[in-house]
Structure 1
Amino acid sequence: MHPPEPVMDVAHLGHVELLTPKPDDSLRFFRDVMGMTVSGAQGDSVFLRGWDDYERYSLQLTASKTSGLGHAAFRTRSAQALERRVAALRADGCEVTEVTDNVGHGPSFRFRDPDGHVFELYWETEWYAAPDDRRAALKNQPERYPARGVNVRRIDHFNCLAVDVRACRAFFERTLGFRCTERIELDSGEEAGMWLTATNKSYDFAFTKEAHGVPGRFHHVTFALDSREAVLQAADTFLDAGVPIETGPHKHAVQQTFFLYVHEPGGNRVEVAHAGARLVLAPDWKTITWTEAERKKGQAWGLRTVESFHTRGTPPLPGEDAP
């Protein structure tokens, strides 16, 4: 009996929308400190990109009364793939809504996961065309290296918080064909974390346990840098810019990402990271499961995870201080 044919209809993470109650300060952070390029604006949103993102943008920054995730979007591998995944979502009982007034890409289809986060699928997209003053010397590079701030290369992944991590994992595996590369299971049998991929990257997004039982919250978005040294240099950039570092630089045990976490002015957690050569090339990869005892050992080289990393998310809880 052969296993089911894998579903490869989702191509990659396209962009995330972050909500911010301090839009001007958040924009300055992502443009001047992170080194991203503004590539458009519409209504209450500004669109930004890393210098090696091939699409028009990877971050939508939207003015709001609070912080958190507006939505996260994935591009499919074809128009037919988009149709198949929308049909699968609807067959699973999921309400799917078409959105047509998008910046930078064609019609999209929005839905919610079991925890209430908003996701989006799309196919048609606008490839970034750099203006003359942003054009790279090499034609296979979308944009000139910014030489500004952290100089983030591209969007890498994001992490949502969830009340029921296992239910969310099953949903994405069942409807969109994501593969789980690593997970955390507590002694109680509860799933406390899962890392999913649609590509040969070790993960495109993750879900971890929400500490307060509040659904729909967000943990962080991650942008990729070229090397571990670039992460160390980012630490100095944040220091000079007066941006407090929450934790890192250090190496995660799960997925082995070399990491550094800060909070942008609107309150959302942001990671800059180097994932190294962690690719999942095996088509029959066996999910790695970490136990509660193993995770209590801390990160890869022994750094204890700071308490705020487990308890803070966005939007903030009532009475919770801003980071």
Structure 2
Amino acid sequence: MAMTGVLRPGHVALRVLDLNEAVRHYVEVLGLFETARDDKGRVFLKAWDEADHHSVVLREADEAGMDYMGWRVASDAELERLAGDLQASSLASDFSWIAAGEHPATGKRFRFTIPTGHVMELYSQKDVVGCNTGYTNPDPWPDGLRGIAPSRFDHCLLYGDDLDGTVKLFVEVLGFGVAEQVLAGPDKLMIGAFLSCSNKPHDVAFIRQPVKNKFHHASFLLDNWNEILKAADILSKRKVSIDIGPTRHGITRGETIYFFDSSGNRNEVFSGGYIYYPDKPTITWTDDQLGPAIFYHDRKINDAFLTVYT
């Protein structure tokens, strides 16, 4: 599939209550690698198979949650084009350019707010520091991994009120496809949307809730179900708060376990799922089947999963 426009999720910036404890969680438990710290007190991290300088940014604050999510685009020209399209659209607001170098090893970024209240940004340049196996005759995985050790940052799930406007923006302006949706009631109100800019089941997902700018989870990729089970062992051994799992989703068909960082931000490690192409029909779930849609094995909703967010 020709990749143009928005290529993939590039980074997620999270607020944490205690930076030292958060770094311990993301390095020792999740298994990311610290790549930099800056004079603003932020810590930058990446997973072992990511080429770019960082994919996670941690900042100490009084309230946990997500500051913003960044998206890698195909070129400088695409960055300028998409910035213009967003400014011409009535669906986004609060536009600004962030100077190159404000994130270490990163070019200029175009920042905007979407109808659900979340802050997003686009960028086209970030230094390639390389994955931990290298790119010539590489082994399948590197030595010296710690913790769960996902290969990459995969997606976020976000909560907000104006789901319709946000889906319209991602589809019509940013070029995403709707891989799956959840519809409710006789009017078939969309209450969930799983959006892809690639061939993954989702690169970002949104759930309709009467709130603005809420963060449900950041997800990181593992290879297979056995690694999900091993992640559960590691989380229990480390006495990390587990939300639910190991289990499988009906939506995306992915295998999963959810847990919390030391500040209450939810993490997921995820494997599996199908290949998505733009011509694939949208998969639809109805609200009377929400149990197996979210947790296919239990076939029932965990109330905390729907109501706990940062």
Query: Does TM, scored on the shorter chain, surpass 0.5?
Result: yes
Alpha carbons of 1:207 and 1:141: their partners in 2 closer, same or farther (altered >3 Å)?
farther
- For residues 190 and 145 of structure 1, do their structure 2 counterparts lie closer, same or farther at Cα, with a shift above 3 Å needed? farther
SS in 1 for 2:25: helix
Q: Please give the secondary structure, in 2, of the residue aligned with 1:84.
A: helix
Give the aligned partner of residue 303 of structure 2. 307
The answer to whether the 8 A contact 1:52-1:142 is kept is: no
Kindly indicate whether the alpha-carbon contact (under 8 Å) linking 2:3 and 2:198 is maintained by their aligned counterparts in 1: no
> C-alpha distance in 2, partners of 1:116/1:140?
42
Distance 1:141 1:117, change over 3 A: farther
Aligned structure 1 segments of 4 or more residues deviating by more than 6 angstroms: none
What's the counterpart of residue 284 of structure 2? Answer: 289
Q: Which runs of structure 2 are paired with 1:32-43 in the superposition (5 Å)? A: 32-42=28-38, 43=40
**1:49-64 to 2 correspondence within 5 Å?**
49-64=46-61
Deviation at 1:38, TM superposition (A): 0.3
Match in the other structure for 1:233: 230
Q: Is the 8 A contact 2:50 2:130 kept in 1?
A: no
Q: Equivalent residue of 1:95, what SS?
A: strand
Q: Distance in 2 between matches of 1:108 and 1:141?
A: 34
2:88 maps to which of 77, 91, 94: 91
Q: CA deviation at 1:129?
A: 4.7
Partner of 1:214: 211
Say which SS state the counterpart of residue 124 (structure 1) adopts. Answer: coil
User: What amino acid is aligned across from residue 216 of structure 1 in structure 2?
Assistant: N
Cα distance, 1:164 vs structure 2: 2.3
How well do the aligned residues superpose, as a CA RMSD in angstroms? 2.0
After TM superposition, give the deviation of residue 18 of structure 1 in Å: 0.7
Partner of 2:269 in structure 1?
A: 272
Spell out, residue by residue over 1:248-294, the C-alpha distance to the aligned partner (whole angstroms, 9 max, x if none). Answer: 10000001110000010011000011024x1113x322211111112
- Structure 2 stretches lacking a partner, 5+ long: none
Report the residue type matching 1:304 in the other structure: K
Counterpart mapping for 1:44-83 below 5 A: 44-83=41-80
Matched, 1:172 2:170: yes
2:145 aligned to 141, 144, 147, which one?
Answer: 147
Q: Could you say what secondary structure the match of 2:37 adopts?
A: strand
Letter matched to residue 285 of structure 2? W
**Offset from partner CA, 1:47-86 (integer Å, 9 cap, x none):** 1111001101110011111111111000101111111110
Query: CA–CA distance in 2 between the matches of 1:61 and 1:286?
Result: 37
Change (3 A) 1:300 1:181: same
In the superposition, the TM-score normalised over structure 1's length comes to 0.88
Query: TM-score, normalised to structure 2's length?
Result: 0.92
Report how many residues are paired.
302
Query: Partners in 2 of 1:64 and 1:185 — Cα distance?
Result: 36
